[in-house]
Structure 1
């Protein structure tokens, strides 16, 4: 496919979530192109009836196809506090399309403790990773003021749940040392993306979550029960610092309770998995490791 050919929907970073969005777009009769890096990812994109365009977002990009709908799902790079990948992508697009959706992260809010968090809360990123996301949000909003930013928390689904950790009996941080966690099933995230990509909602920033934050122990204990194994042992923060990677600790250090009231009110989206327990059961049915 020529990179300059116009498409209906262009998905940059067409990974697990992007492929699910691509399938919805193809079913709606769209001409869909997914931008990927690897041959394996290209095969997945083609498997749902979309075209694949292999591009290295860390290299110079000559031109990308014009589109009516842009869905940007690629993460920033791993260094610095700016999203150079997004800068290259936006420079390679001939014009901002009518509909733009960026999948960001709830990490831009930083640590919010026990507070409920809606979209009126100011961003306060605590890590370089989150600051890169804030940079990306600001870049795409400046390029396309109508762009809708979806701030997603932990994404779970088939192959995206800690089955191996729980089966191995690895410990988790005790609730007395940790805060609130939030999540969204990958099928719900894809549904939210397609919903806002086909309609221009009233706002441009939404928390894309199931709206049911939990303590960490509840999530792991539920998964253990579904797997038929003992609940994971609980450890305090001191022991966690000795056992866990710096990356994992950075996630554990933050707490927030995300509200999805604005998204549900503005879009009318109906969650497939408003209860993480149902989502875990469905995920296990699609996860070969749990069989």
Structure 2
């Protein structure tokens, strides 16, 4: 068994998948969430409310080698994002300081919402971040907090996560919703298992002494036009009717590159929406 220990703050869908992958490689894992009854087997539970600044009673006595901040906002407005991503991270950093603990590295899971490009441009980690919505602005604030924490940190900007239980687009397609074809609306996706796999790959690389960059984009190999994805899903599902009124709505259009992550040796298990959605519909993944 490895002597390495990770604390996953927000050990839900992606965090739980990460925990399973690390456990399979012999790591020890602490999982922090409000309700710990759904933690994967083998994860040491840390029950905590990130909105409460008080140090959790179950906080690990041993300092984590790695901290992964991987939360999801329970309230989808500016106040909810601020509480989850900025205030919650600040509380965790304070708890580490209170206990005199300093992980080797912090991975902060962010979002591609920090990018505002909307004309189908290819972008990478060096692209301008000028978000117009509150979600991207709050994420940038949280990223700055992580990078300025005094702990070596890497930001992981995940794109549209999908997987079992994250099937919004499938429900839209089944209802016959339409999507604009021109101009093409490019979307970026990553299967939840690949999102966890990227985080695990970064942790393992750092543990081997590989120098990490301060930012990575988590995306599959195929940022495709939404109309293409919908067309493929309609054919796969056998949907023939179109809704007269409803449309799949989305704003923005950009193509995110995973070249930096791939250069580190990571590759997605589901390289495109075809493999990923096929796995979901076949009960895998």
Higher helix share: 1
Structure 1 pair 129–178 and aligned structure 2 pair: CA distance change class (3 A): farther
Post-superposition CA distance 1:80-108 (Å, at most 9, x none): 47421211121112333102211110110
**Structure 1 position 59, deviation (Å):** 1.9
Structure 1 pair 32–231 and aligned structure 2 pair: CA distance change class (3 A): farther
Structure 1 pair 21–231 and aligned structure 2 pair: CA distance change class (3 A): farther
> What CA distance in whole angstroms lies between the structure 2 residues aligned with 1:231 and 1:148?
46
- Counterpart secondary structure, 2:37: helix
Q: How does 1:186-265 map to 2 (within 5 A)?
A: 186-200=192-206, 201-230=211-240, 232-233=242-243, 252-265=250-263
> What CA distance in whole angstroms lies between the structure 2 residues aligned with 1:34 and 1:7?
14
> What CA distance in whole angstroms lies between the structure 2 residues aligned with 1:132 and 1:172?
31
Alignment pair present for 1:92 and 2:95? yes
**Structure 1 position 231, deviation (Å):** 6.5
Structure 1: gaps (5+ residues): 1-5
Structure 1's consecutive aligned runs of 4 or more residues displaced over 3 angstroms after TM superposition are: 75-78, 231-235
State the partner residue of 2:270: 273
Q: Is the 8 A contact 1:105 1:150 kept in 2?
A: yes
State the partner residue of 1:163: 170
State the partner residue of 1:174: 180
- Counterpart secondary structure, 2:67: strand
Root-mean-square deviation over aligned CA pairs:
2.4
**Structure 1 position 67, deviation (Å):** 0.7
> What CA distance in whole angstroms lies between the structure 2 residues aligned with 1:231 and 1:122?
41
Structure 1 pair 213–198 and aligned structure 2 pair: CA distance change class (3 A): same
State the partner residue of 1:19: 16
> What CA distance in whole angstroms lies between the structure 1 residues aligned with 2:281 and 2:108?
28
Alignment pair present for 1:56 and 2:55? no
Post-superposition CA distance 1:212-240 (Å, at most 9, x none): 111111112222222222275587xxx86
TM-score normalized with structure 1 length: 0.83
- Counterpart secondary structure, 1:184: strand
> What CA distance in whole angstroms lies between the structure 2 residues aligned with 1:274 and 1:13?
26
State the partner residue of 1:103: 109
Alignment pair present for 1:67 and 2:67? no
Post-superposition CA distance 1:127-159 (Å, at most 9, x none): 011111101111001014521111111011122
> What CA distance in whole angstroms lies between the structure 1 residues aligned with 2:116 and 2:132?
5
Q: How many residues align?
A: 264
- Counterpart secondary structure, 1:120: coil
Q: Is the 8 A contact 1:178 1:253 kept in 2?
A: no
> What CA distance in whole angstroms lies between the structure 1 residues aligned with 2:108 and 2:262?
18
State the partner residue of 1:132: 138
